[in-house]
Each structure stands twice: as C-alpha cells, then as structure tokens.
Structure 1
Amino acid sequence: MIVVVGAGIAGLCAALAAAGDSRLGSEGLSAGGRASIPKNGTYRQQEVLLVCKDKFVESNTYHAQGGVATAIFNDDSPALHATDTMAAGHGLCDRTAVDILTDEGARRVRELIGDGWHVDRDGEGHVLRGLEAAHCRSRVVHAGGDATGKVLELDVSAMVRENPNITVLEHAFLNDVLVRDGHVTGVRLAVRDAQDGVETRVVDTDRVVLATGGAGRLFPYTTNPAVATGDGLAAAIRAGAQVADLEFYQFHPTALAIGEHFLVSEAVRGEGAVLLDEHGRRFMADIDPKAELAPRDVVARANFRTMQAQGGKPIMLDVSPMGKENPDLAEFLRHRFPTIDVYTRSLGFDWSKEPIPVAPAAHYWMGGIRTDLFGRASIPGLYAAGECARTGVQGANRLASNSLLEGMVYGYRAGLAAANDTDGTVWQPQDFDNSAIENMPVCQQPMLLHMPDATTQPNVAQSLVWDRARIEDVMWKHVGVIRDGDSLSQGVRELGEALSMANAADSADMSKTIAQPTAYAERIIMWENRNLLTAERVALNFAQRMCGIATMTAAFVKAADEAVETTDYRTPRTYACTRIVDTRKTTPGLRPFEKYAVTCGGGHNHRYGLSDAVMVKDNHLAALAEQGIDMAGAIRHIREQVGHTTHIEVEVDRLEQIKAALEGGADTIMLDNFSLEDTCKGVDLIAGNAIVEASGNMTLERIPQVAATGVDVISVGALTHSVSSIDLGLDWN
C-alpha cells in the first residue's frame, strides 16, 4: 500500500496515478531530465491510503482563486510559458523541470477538462482565459470565476472517491515519517478518535508521498488556510531528507489589509486594476515597465516600501479602470470575481465605486523537499509533490497561477513513481547548476544542519513553549517581505531557542512532567507549531548567513565608493572605483554560496578556485631564494609554465620587493599589511603598471583611508569568515 499525505491537487493527482486511474495521464509524459520511470506495458495499480489532516477537501488548493496557467490556446506554446516561468524565477529555475511543467501541464489540463473539470466557458462553449502578472499571453484558465481551486478540488476529489483502490482517512495528522536502515518503513499518525481525543497509529509502508502544502501560518499576515503549517516538510527534515531553496518565500502583493487577509487575486490586476498610494497616485509604473503586472516579488516589495513611507497605511487597489470595457462594473465584478465581491461587500466596501485597502501577505513557499523529476526524495521510498516539494520549477519567485499546475504535473509523476519503482530505486536529482544564470557558483554537496533537541532545554516549562502568535510575530519582524543580515541572525537565535523548547515539550521524558493537551485540535496546534519552527529554522540558518555576507559586503563597498568620490588620485587606476574582494577564507561546503553572496553585496570574487590564477606568496619566494632564484626570475619562470592568459599575483611585504615584481611581469601586486604611508608609496612605485591590491587588517573603519591611497583592490577576509554561522556542520560521508 502507498500512503499519500495531503489532499490538495498534488495529493489527489498522486493518489490517482498510484491507483492506476486511466482518466489521468492519457496524453503521456514529456521526455527530459535524469530521472526515469520503469514501464513494462502498463503502469501498476496499487492500493492507496490518502491521509488528510482535516476534512477531505480542506487544502490550499480549495482556497486558490486565480486559476491555472496553461498553454492550451492557439496563440500560445509551452515554450513561451516556460520563458515566462524562468523570468519570474529570476533565472534560478531548473530549465528541464520548467519544460516538463509547461508541456505536461497542458496535457494534464486537457485531460482534466475532458474528465469533467468545470472550467469557465463563454456562450459558445469555448474555455475562457485571463491575463496575470508576468505572463506574455492570456493563458490562465479559471473556474467559478475566482473560485478555481474550490471547483478543481471538488471535481478531482470526486474522481478519487470513485476509485475503489483509494481509501481516504480524514482528521489524521502526520507526526513523523519512519525510516529504518536508510529506507522509509511507514508513517506515525495522530488520528482523531470518536471522543475527539488522539489515537496514535503507525501505518507500515515502504512508499510515502508527501503533498502537505506550504507553511503560510508562519506569518501573521497570510493568504493560506489554517492547515498550512509545514507538516510534511518538517517530518522530512526530521527523517533526514534533503531540502533546498527554503529561503525563497513569496509574499502576495494584494491581500485585504483588514479582516482575515483575504486574497485579492492577481487576476484582478490582470483585468486592469491599479495600485495607489495614500495620495491616490499610481506608483508601480515608476518602478517596473510592467507596472501592476510585474512579477509578484517586485510588486510586493514596492507595496511594502510604499506602506513604510506612508506610516504603515495600506495600499489602495482601484478597479475603476475596468469600467472602460465594462460599463456595468458592479455586475462585471459580481460575475468575474464572485468570491472577492461577496467578501469585500461583507466588510462594507463597494469596490465598484471605491478603492479597497490591500497589503502584502505570505502566500507561497518556493523551496521544500528536494526531489528529482519524478518526485523522489533523497530517502528511498519517500516522494514529495506540490508546495512542500522543491522540484526546481519555481526558482526564487513563482509565476502567477503555476502552483496548481505544478501540483497536477508533479503530483501525477510522484504517484506514478511510487507505484512503479522497483525496490532499490534511488533518486536522480538535477544538478543545482541547471539554471539560466551562467557561471553561477554552486555546491552540489548537502550541508548537515544540527537541530536543537530536548537535551538543550532540560528544564523547560510548559509556560515557556512558544504559542503561534509569538512565532508569527518573530517571523514577520525578522523574516518578512524585506530582510537584512542582522535581523535574520536575530530570528535564527530566537526561533532556535523556541524549537528546542518545542522538541523538549514533545519528547517522551518531558511529556511525563509537562501537562499535555488531550483534545485532538489542541494537540494538533502544538505539533503544528513545532513543525513551523522546524521548517523555518533550516531556511533561516542558511539565509541569515548569506544575507549577512551580502550586507557586510555592501557596507565595505559603500565605504570605498565614498572615499573614491572625494579623492583626487595621483596615479592611473585600473578600475573606476576601488573594488572590494573576498579571500580564500570561506566556510567548508559553503564556498560557492558565500562567494555568490559577496557579489550580491556589490563585491567581487578574488579567486574561485586554485586554477583561476597563480598566487605567489612570501613562503614560496623564501623557498625559491634558497635555490638561488630571485622574485623576478620566479615570476618569469611561472609565466613560461602557465602562458600569458593566466593571471599572476605576487604578495609583497616590503616596498623593496615591488621593483622585482614589476620586472618579472606580475599582473597584480598585493601589498600585505602595509601601513597607510607605505601603501601610498607602493601605489606611486607601481604607477599603473600592475593592479594594486591592499590586504591585511581591513576593518570597515580603515576602508576609506586605504581606498584614498589609490589602490585598485582591497581584499577583506572578514566578508566570509566573520559573519556568524549558527549550528552549521558538514557530513562528509
């Protein structure tokens, strides 16, 4: 039997695929990527247990408004859809995964429409479509106006109920994925009993598909329903599965700023609505050429900054431009956006006549459990799909209305693989460098994060265990729409302590001394809080360090730039501004990420690897001197060996060595631990005949003085070795 946890569109499609339901998959699969699936004639039919934390249809899918982006129309193509997806993801999407998404997505949508999905149609029966942000075509299919997810969930769940191979278990919370000898052996569930209490149930299985959705409930302002608490992701982390891209969280630009932060769909702006500041001025046209239809992250940050500038007052969403094509605007809004229309009017707004207040809110997690292109995770027998998975299609920012599509495509693929993989099948993930950013430094080896456990908080009291409101408050304060290194570091410290207390409270020993809630709902909230802390701590440990490096680099770059602007230099300069560069002093296993973070802060990489340049240091020169070879001769000998295309840098610690370095033909001369006076003299001696680099004891306070001497480059080891790293380790096995 295969266990599928989660009943959104990803879980439903996984269950149908694993059960061998022929109504899905008739148009076949796309080719591409490392991963493959065994097929001998027909796919296997397996018994499936579909586990739901709440009632069957309650999920993120059920609450989704906007629609499903799909290239099924004559003026569109999967290639165009893929291009838009890559652009929205800022080049960090996996191109192969995206190509599969857009090609197979069109196939799955056509199949579901043929199977009875009630999409919106015009009077002649043609499927209607809408335009949303960052799409070059109108390709978003909707159902029930702005109730697309609800209609999709109800229609596909009906297919699941009709399949005799699928059993649905409602009100069952996933506590843990069980692993023995490196392979999945089952799941531990907390099931609501007849008295509304909790019954622990272990289900033995060697195949588990996690489709548990995201974790929007990390934040106080979110469009996600109450069930979105990162349960599958946290269970996967505890089981030892690889996760990726957890630092990328999408904030939707337009949730209602009052009430329950109700989502005002992207489609509203797609139909022509505009965003206004407190003075009624439209501001997005000044920020991005696409204005209100820029990618979500761009609009969300613009909204947030505008709100900060006006003392926290919300942005106003004005739908009046739609009136040009829809004279009876109120009727159009009631027909096109019935759910939003009812909700806004329930709050006393007539949005056909007045703007409504909106603000950014947590919406979608791009990262998750790292999988291959058939949903396989790093632990044999574990699969993941939907928002809890990191397939590679979302990159740093999800394209509007791609989430339901991803659930269809990769949920189906994960279910197929779970049903048809042979014993011993292992995942075959795409490399991290399969993106649109050329020469982006990457690290293929995973890091091991040491999570706090019960032993770190031996005397925790129940009153100290964090409640949901405190978690949300810290997350919004330190890990919200706009972040910086110091704030992230503070968030890591606070949430780490909170997680250790949550783990202590849940441990077997502590449960004997701490009063545990008995009702199902109360126990679920306690476990959900632990899951939220588990999932976000992993993301924060990585994000706070990278953001800290970028922030520190930016401060050094700013200090150097300000000095250059006020200095009249005596000698020729290689660069317009003094460059701030890193050194070899990086954290083991994090070198590619840390060097990339330096460039994000405006700095430059000194050397990425030993093959990038030749570095001649004082110990090398001392060894050569014993053989009667002077500095100039050594440099000339190196040049003969490496050719004229390889950069040679020579470290000097005395002014007297500069003449020999120039005679030998050094490309860069590093002035190591020179005083300011000697640095000025060194710059004069070199006189533009080589790049001048200053190194040693480079604090932020010294940077303006050193930059004013006229050096071309300042190398700062502190950029990567002095930013705090919390609970990071390596597993070299």
Structure 2
Amino acid sequence: MSAEMLTRYAGWPVIAGAGLAGLSTALHLDGPCVVLSPSPLGENAASSLAQGGIAAALGPDDSPALHAQDTLAAGAGLCDPAIVRTMTQAAPDAVCTLLEWGVPFDRHTSGALDLHLEAAHSRARIAHAAGDGSGAAIMRALIARVRATPRIIVLEGASLRALDVHENRLRGIWAGLSYIPTSACVIASGGVGALYAEATSPSGNRGLGLAIAARAGARLADMEFVQFHPTALDIGDRPGRRPLVSEAVRGAGAALIDETGERFTDELASRDVVSRAIAAHLHEGHRVFLDARKVLAGHFAQHFPTIAASCAAIGIDPDIHPIPVRPAVHYHMGGIEVDARGRSSISGLWAAGEAACTGLHGANRLASNSLLEAFVTGQSVAQDLNAISLPNAHHVADAPPALTSAHDYGRLMSAEAGILRNEAGLSKLRRRLSSDALQDDHALVGAFIAHAALQRRESRGSHWRTDYPERAAPHRNSFILADLPLHATSLEYA
C-alpha cells in the first residue's frame, strides 16, 4: 500500500511528540509547523505527570552558578559543563516566560514564588504549581496557547512511524501510513520508562522515537543511564504505571523508614544513592515507607493533593499512615545525541526533551531539571530552525517499513538492567533482545541499553555494576545501529 501524501504540510517542520518539549518547540517557532500527538493533546504525556516543578535560581541566596554546581555534582562527572552553564543560566528566564504564558506558579502571601527544596539541591529553587501538580499546570497553559495559535497544526492520534533519510539527509516522515515531505523533524517523544515492569512513565513511553532515529542512522548516547526514582508508590503487583511520590515530600522533611520505624538512609542524597539504599533494604526483606505524619501537621493533602489522591486509592491516608514506597524507573538520561542547538547526526533531524541526550544530566539527573530541559531545548531547537532556510520538500515516498513493537520485555529489563547490574545479566538481556531488535522497536531500544551498560565496566551515577563497583576514567558512550551485535541467528539467542 502506498503512503497517503499530506502535501498540504510539505516543507513544514514536523514535531513528533506533544509533551512540554514538543509544545515549547512549536510555540517558539516563527512559522507554521505540524505537531504529532499520539493521544488527545495533553493526555499520556510524561510532562503532565511531573510533580516537583522546574528548577531555577530564583531566590535571593541562589545563583545559576550554584544551580550548575549542583547539576554537575549529581551528574557524577559526565555532564557537559558548557551545556550545564547554558541551561542553568536560561532557567530564570524560562520561568518568567512560563509566567507570562499563564502558568500559575504557587506563591507566598507576600507574592514571592514559593520555592521548594529537593534532593541534591543546595538551595530551595523548585518553582511549582498547584502543589504537586506542576507538570499538569504547565501543560494546561501551553496547550491553551497552542490551541490559540493558528500556525500550529496538531494531528491528534498521529505518531511518528519512520524517517525517510537519503544520504544522511531527511526528506520526509511517515505518520502512520501518511507521508509528509519535509526536511525538518524534531523528535520530542519522551523517554523509555515503560520498557520496564515498574515505571512512573505513561505506557507509551517506550523509546520509539529513539528506535526510529537509530534505524535512520542517528547516533544515540548515554543509553545505559536509566534513573530510578526512589519513591514511587508501592502498589504491589498491580499492572500499570506507578504513581510518583515527589522528591518535595522528602524535601519538606519526610523520613524514609522501614517496618520497624527506623530510618536507614539520608533522604536528601541524590536519587541514585537513595534508590540503591532502598533496593538493598527491600532485598534484605524489609518494607520501606515514607513517613510524613509529623512534618505537615495533618495537612498533607493541602500540600500534595495529587499524591494524597493516589494514596487514597490504595487505602492510605498520609496524615495517619506512612506511605509504602519502592524505586521505579522515572527518567532516561540517554537518547538521541544532539549538539547545543538540538541537531542530531542526521541533517534535518533535531531532538528535544527526554528523547534528546544533551549532556545536561550526565550519569544522573538532578531533580526538577527535566521540565527545565524540555522547555529550554524546545526553545533552542526552534531558534535554530528560525535561523535557517529549509529546502523545498517534494519527495514522493512508497509505503513505510514494516516493523512491530508487539513484545513486552518489562520483567526482563527490570531484572537484568535495573538498579543493580552485572555482566551475566546484561549479556543475557542483550542476547535475548538482539534476536528481535531488527524487527521490534522495543527490543532495539532495550538492546541499546544493554549494550551500553555492558560496555561501561564501572559504577557511576544511575549505572551500578556489582562486578565493577569502582569508578573508572570518565567517558561517554555513543553508538549507531551498526555497532550493535544484531545479526546473529535466532538459534544463538534462544
């Protein structure tokens, strides 16, 4: 079957993804663009689930330099210092722009922004909205602005299926069976969390944008660095997304305790440290709880309404009961390797937000830098597109490639590429996924993670090898599809 040609959009930039990064890109562009939104606009976007807020040096005791220092420390030696400086310097203006666009950040009675403290930050610098509903509040404001901007065309129910690249230059994209001739595509499709059995991500966040870019020849970087949030709500073996219990709850003074009521770790250490401590305690047979009963004086729901509602769904009142928690996959530091302008290794392909690997996060993302990165990278990509003249796009394409994403590898990913890793488990994972990766996008992304984790024979940030517990010399991994061992027979990988 031939592709349907959407020639009315020929030559327009196409933005694959309608979370914060995608909408930021669209709103900062000067000309018309197409946004592909797999779900109705605002639904199933990880940005809408973000609780903590956006990090920016806004307080009188703070500065972008201090924000940069904290980001570099959390990144465990693998951040790009120039990118960190650029991003932290841009953060206050980003918050100001969001305020101008109607985001109702919470304020004190004095009128000053109410800034939260979160783990591994040396200052209270997290601007939040609607208590723990920051992501949803930001997205509502941006969606309203997009709806009121006629030059932005949103195709709801449409997903990027493949890129049409010839001689390393984009000439079109497939959205399902529809083809748009274009020389500019921005992948803003989010992370990989739902590849794992337990994640805070929407079910659609399985790295398909990364797989599509890799199949077209793009370079991926830092794929081994998968961040586990220490405190997802422990809902037992129920299927589906794990509700998040925000870092801000610990920032407000809640303690991590076990079933005996004893504390066992520093609640405000970086996410990788706290996640490993909880995982180790669980492995020893303990249960783990976040105890906020004393610190919020019986007003938990007033401060954290979203978390309170999630707790109520499993019969927990945080004012009376400690909250059962356990780590869950929350963010991917890796992705499509891009430069400071968001350009990938393919001419005409940009990436923004969690799908991009900018070098901001290094081996471990600092809390609440994700919404910041999504907004600022979208702005940077748009500024780059605004400054160039796109060539005419008129290529006529055949049908898109036939691929599947039918398998669920969640249990295997969690078991072998989780918080604690070793060569035997990662090798098993890579062998299993490699047998499917040429036809299955989920398997391909998982194989990239396993391969990168095998190559990193050290422990650093969110990547912890029990067989290589020490750090080695700092280096970053990047790969293209041809670097993966995907061409062995299925018998070898049985």
Q: Same fold (TM over 0.5)?
A: yes
Q: Label 1:454 to 1:337 Cα distance change in 2 as closer, same or farther (>3 A).
A: closer
Match of 1:144 in 2: 130
Paired residue type of 2:271:
R
Residues of 1 paired with 2:453 and 2:40: CA distance? Answer: 35
Residues of 2 paired with 1:348 and 1:602: CA distance? Answer: 42
TM-aligned CA deviation for residue 726 of structure 1: 6.6
Residues of 1 paired with 2:38 and 2:130: CA distance? Answer: 26
Paired residue type of 2:173:
V
Identity of aligned residues (%): 40
Residues of 2 paired with 1:314 and 1:414: CA distance? Answer: 45
SS in 2 for 1:172: coil
TM-aligned CA deviation for residue 187 of structure 1: 0.9
Residues of 2 paired with 1:542 and 1:56: CA distance? Answer: 34
TM-aligned CA deviation for residue 91 of structure 1: 1.4
Match of 2:58 in 1: 72
Residues of 1 paired with 2:471 and 2:390: CA distance? Answer: 49
TM-aligned CA deviation for residue 418 of structure 1: 2.1
The list of structure 1 runs, each at least 4 consecutive aligned residues, that deviate by more than 3 angstroms after superposition, is 599-605
Say which structure, 1 or 2, has more relative contact order (CA 8 Å, 6+ apart). 2
Q: Which of 161, 166, 169 is residue 183 of structure 1 equivalent to?
A: 169
Residues of 1 paired with 2:28 and 2:189: CA distance? Answer: 17
Gaps (5+ residues) in structure 1?
21-45, 191-199, 285-290, 425-452, 456-461, 504-529, 552-596, 606-724
Q: Which of 338, 347, 372 is residue 371 of structure 1 equivalent to?
A: 338
Does residue 482 in structure 1 map to residue 420 in structure 2? Answer: yes
Match of 1:473 in 2: 411
Match of 1:532 in 2: 442
Match of 2:155 in 1: 169
Residues of 1 paired with 2:345 and 2:471: CA distance? Answer: 35
Match of 1:507 in 2: none
Q: Label 1:726 to 1:182 Cα distance change in 2 as closer, same or farther (>3 A).
A: closer
TM-aligned CA deviation for residue 496 of structure 1: 1.1
Query: 2:158·2:175 contact (CA, 8 Å) conserved in 1?
Result: yes
TM-aligned CA deviation for residue 177 of structure 1: 1.4
TM-aligned CA deviation for residue 122 of structure 1: 2.0
Does residue 236 in structure 1 map to residue 213 in structure 2? Answer: yes
Paired residue type of 2:359:
G
Query: 1:489·1:545 contact (CA, 8 Å) conserved in 2?
Result: no
Matches within 5 A, 1:563-574: none
Match of 2:178 in 1: 201
Residues of 2 paired with 1:539 and 1:129: CA distance? Answer: 35
Give the helix-richer structure, 1 or 2. 1
Does residue 346 in structure 1 map to residue 313 in structure 2? Answer: yes
Match of 2:292 in 1: 319
Match of 2:433 in 1: 495
Paired residue type of 1:281:
E
Q: Which of 101, 117, 121 is residue 103 of structure 2 equivalent to?
A: 117
SS in 2 for 1:320: coil
Q: Deviations over 1:448-495 (max 9, x none)?
A: xxxxx999xxxxxx9xx9632xx0011011111111111100100111
Query: 2:234·2:242 contact (CA, 8 Å) conserved in 1?
Result: yes
Paired residue type of 2:321:
E
Match of 2:485 in 1: 727
TM-aligned CA deviation for residue 728 of structure 1: 8.3
TM-aligned CA deviation for residue 215 of structure 1: 1.1
TM-score by length of 2: 0.86
Match of 1:543 in 2: 453
Paired residue type of 1:222:
A
Q: Which of 16, 21, 33 is residue 48 of structure 1 equivalent to?
A: 33
TM-aligned CA deviation for residue 121 of structure 1: 1.4
Q: Label 1:212 to 1:602 Cα distance change in 2 as closer, same or farther (>3 A).
A: closer
Query: 1:215·1:532 contact (CA, 8 Å) conserved in 2?
Result: no
Match of 2:267 in 1: 292
Query: 1:466·1:498 contact (CA, 8 Å) conserved in 2?
Result: no
TM-aligned CA deviation for residue 390 of structure 1: 0.3
Q: Deviations over 1:122-150 (max 9, x none)?
A: 22322111100000000001101100000
Gaps (5+ residues) in structure 2?
1-11, 392-400, 460-464, 474-482, 488-494
Q: Label 1:88 to 1:65 Cα distance change in 2 as closer, same or farther (>3 A).
A: same
Does residue 360 in structure 1 map to residue 327 in structure 2? Answer: yes
TM-score by length of 1: 0.59
Residues of 1 paired with 2:311 and 2:170: CA distance? Answer: 47
Query: 1:245·1:368 contact (CA, 8 Å) conserved in 2?
Result: yes
TM-aligned CA deviation for residue 402 of structure 1: 0.4
* Count of residues in correspondence between the two structures: 447
Does residue 389 in structure 1 map to residue 352 in structure 2? Answer: no
Query: 1:244·1:368 contact (CA, 8 Å) conserved in 2?
Result: yes
Match of 2:492 in 1: none
What is the root-mean-square deviation in Å for CA atoms of aligned residues?
A: 2.3
TM-aligned CA deviation for residue 415 of structure 1: 1.5
Q: Label 1:309 to 1:99 Cα distance change in 2 as closer, same or farther (>3 A).
A: same
Paired residue type of 1:106:
P
